Chains A and B, each alone.
Chain A
Amino acid sequence: MGVRKEMRRRRSGWRADKGWRQFWMKPRVVSGVAVAIAFLVWLTVTSLQWVSPLFLPSPQAVGASFITTLQQGYKDQPLWLHILASMGRLAWAFLLTLGTAIPLGLLSGCIPQVQAVLDPFIEFYRPLPPLAYYTLLVIWLGIEDGSKIALLYLAGFAPLYLAAAAAVKRIPQDRLNVARSLGASSVQIFFHVIFPSCLPELFTGLRTAIGFMYTTLVAAEMVAAVSGLGWMVLDASKFLRSDVIFVGIFIMGGIAMMIDWGIRWVEGRQLPWVGKG
């Protein structure tokens, strides 16, 4: 590979300054520059006081607020407890979704009757805005974690279930036939061929599901909660603490990016064959 790169460089008359030009063209560098420019605009706008700090706090204020929240917590609770509260709800709902949506989705893909039973319910509740039935869940399960986990579970179940059911139908028939001709039983085919064949789509479905769950989580904490990142942001807005709002939003966004990055990392390690002949 080194040789090929070198050849390409020579052919294109590579010089040091051209190397730099190539460096600035790299997508990651471009992303970095875009973010840096946005930050600079933010810094300029606030230090020249073009907008009131009530609407847009300065980066320094947000940084200072981040450090105070980190040290003293928010409303008698340390920041990590707020994060933990949110993440705990997400984790429980995630495990429940994983444990039900994948097996049910795969079964639906294999057995039309199973799909026929589940589909009307899923088709009905999937387009509903989660907050519409959240009020019901709160009445049934209370304002504590139970209602939130149930809400997140419902938000994540549909996308993962649909991804699993669709993935089964995309398995090449010849692959299943090969397995049958090697003497595999239906149950063996389910576990040793159908499940691994669907893994790439399951990972994609998982990322979509977590995305849905995460947005729902923040919304749910904003409607009814006494802890969590969503609640923190909502509570801060009542006291016009836009610096705290910004801290909360940055943490939410950062965590979401880390979760997605984590799933893609696992996928890359576990499924190196995806998308390759």
Chain B
Amino acid sequence: MFPSGFSTSTRSLIRLRGVSLSYPLARGAIEVLRNIDLELGQRDLVCVIGPSGCGKTSLLQLMAGYIQPTVGSITVAGQPHTQPSAEVGVVFQQPNLFPWLTIAQNVEFGLKMQGMPKADRHKYTAEFLQLVGLLDAAKRLPYQLSGGMKQRVAIARALATNPKIILMDEPFASLDAITRETMQLHLKQIWRQTQKSIFFITHDVEEAMLLATRILVMYPNPGRIVKDITNPFAHELGHLSAGQLRSSKAFAEMREYLVAGIRGAYQYQ
């Protein structure tokens, strides 16, 4: 019914080959991920959905370099990726801003660590604060911001170091419904403007359909990718509102298809 996914890019940014992850137990081992092959190209916005425990977050931690695969290899722009670096930006469910730094200082943190001169840093910081619409809040401290604003700062901070790819772990899950919709629009705009490759974990099927160019479905026990689909609605949000999209027949069918796909996972639990 829907075509199998393929990278829209000309060049792959991150590539996972035969990646498996297991943790040793007292007896035997628990297999978290089995034989993952995945390639993300430029301007991909890949959403991953799947039931809890299917290894979504483990996959993200592997790609970020926080943990190492038991088997297989991960390359970023052709180079082996063995530890976290500014090449791969990360946004968590919680904004995790540095509470003692102002919004602007949070955004420029990565640039400062890289030793960029102050004047350049300020220029970039202003640019990215502008992008997420928070230039006015530059001098404030994180605790003075709302949840949605904080998450926008976290996105700007991840963008500032100019990573090749940005990983997001359910970044809007703890926001209220209205803020979440605004943030989805925001992210889509940011993605269009910056042309970054984004790997986005969600448990919300509709969120995946509104945002993604490509949707991956994962199954648990062991965690694996069972579907890799090109999202037919990839370029609709913006022309049409989220509400208009949701009420279309095609959207409802696709949603049903994906939900059925995820439901299929429960036989493995």
Contacts of A192 in B (CB 8 A): 109, 112-113
Inter-chain CA distance A185–B113, complex, in Å, is 8
Indicate whether A179 reaches chain B with its CB closer than 8 angstroms. Answer: yes
Measured between beta carbons, the chain A residues less than 8 angstroms from B96 are: 172, 174-175, 178
Q: Does B86 contact A (CB under 8 A)?
A: yes
Q: Which of A177, A180, A193, A277 contacts B98 (CB 8 A)?
A: A193
**Contact of B94 with A by CB under 8 A:** yes
Residue pair B92, A178 in contact (C-beta under 8 Å): yes
- Closest residue of A by beta carbon distance from B83: A180
Task: Check: B66 CB closer than 8 A to any chain A CB.
Answer: yes
Is B141 an interface residue, CB under 8 A from the partner? yes
Closest-CB distance, A181 to chain B (whole angstroms): 4
Those 4 A-B pairs whose CB atoms lie nearest each other, nearest first:
A183-B86, A182-B110, A180-B84, A276-B143
B88 to chain A: closest residue by CB? A181
B64 touches A177 (CB 8 A): yes
Q: Which residues of B contact A193 (CB under 8 A)?
A: 98
- Residues on B facing A (Cβ under 8 Å): 64-66, 83-86, 88-90, 92, 94, 96, 98-100, 109-110, 112-114, 141-143, 157-158, 161
A72 within 8 A of B: no
A171 to chain B, nearest CB (A): 11
Measured between beta carbons, the chain A residues less than 8 angstroms from B142 are: 273
User: Which residue of chain B has its CB nearest to the CB of A185?
Assistant: B113
A183-B87 Cα distance, complex, nearest whole Å: 8
- Chain B residues lying within 8 Å of A272, measured Cβ to Cβ, are 141
Contact A175 B98 (CB under 8 A): yes
Q: Given contacts A182-B157, A272-B141, are A196 and B98 in contact (CB under 8 A)?
A: yes
Interface residue from B65, B99, B141, B161 paired with A182 (Cβ < 8 Å): B161
**Chain A residues with CB below 8 A from B83, complex form:** 180
Contact A179 B109 (CB under 8 A): yes
A183 with B143: in contact, given A172-B96, A177-B90, A178-B90 (CB under 8 Å)? no
List the B side residues contacting A185 at CB < 8 Å. 113
For residue A183, give the distance in angstroms from its CB to the closest CB of chain B: 3
A277 touches B143 (CB 8 A): yes
In the complex, A188→B64 CA distance in Å?
A: 19
Residues of chain B contacted by A181 (CB below 8 angstroms): 64-65, 84-86, 88-90, 158
**A225 contacts B by Cβ under 8 Å:** no
Most central of B64, B86, B109, B157 by chain A CB within 10 Å:
B109
A–B complex contacts, Cβ < 8 Å, 15 sampled: A174-B92, A174-B94, A179-B109, A181-B65, A181-B86, A181-B158, A182-B161, A183-B110, A183-B114, A184-B109, A184-B113, A185-B113, A199-B100, A272-B141, A277-B143
Which residues on B sit within 8 Å (CB–CB) of A172? 96
Q: Which residue of B lies closest to A178 (CB)?
A: B96
A9 CA to B181 CA, complexed, in Å: 39
B61 to chain A: closest residue by CB: A177
Selected contact of A188 from candidates B113, B141, B143, CB within 8 Å: B113
In the assembly, what is the distance between CA of A196 and CA of B161, in Å? Answer: 22
The docked-state distance in angstroms from the alpha carbon of A218 to that of B66 is 51
Most chain A beta carbons < 10 A, residue from B85, B88, B99, B112:
B99
Q: Is A70 an interface residue (CB 8 A)?
A: no
**Contact across chains for B109 and A182 when beta carbons are under 8 A apart:** yes
Partner of A271, one of B84, B100, B113, B161: B100
CA separation between A184 and B142, bound complex, in Å? 20
Chain B residues lying within 8 Å of A175, measured Cβ to Cβ, are 96, 98
**How many angstroms from the CA of A174 to the CA of B64 in the assembled complex?**
12
Kindly list chain A residues whose C-beta atoms are within 8 Å of the C-beta of B64. 177, 181
- Least CB distance, B163 to chain A, in whole angstroms: 8
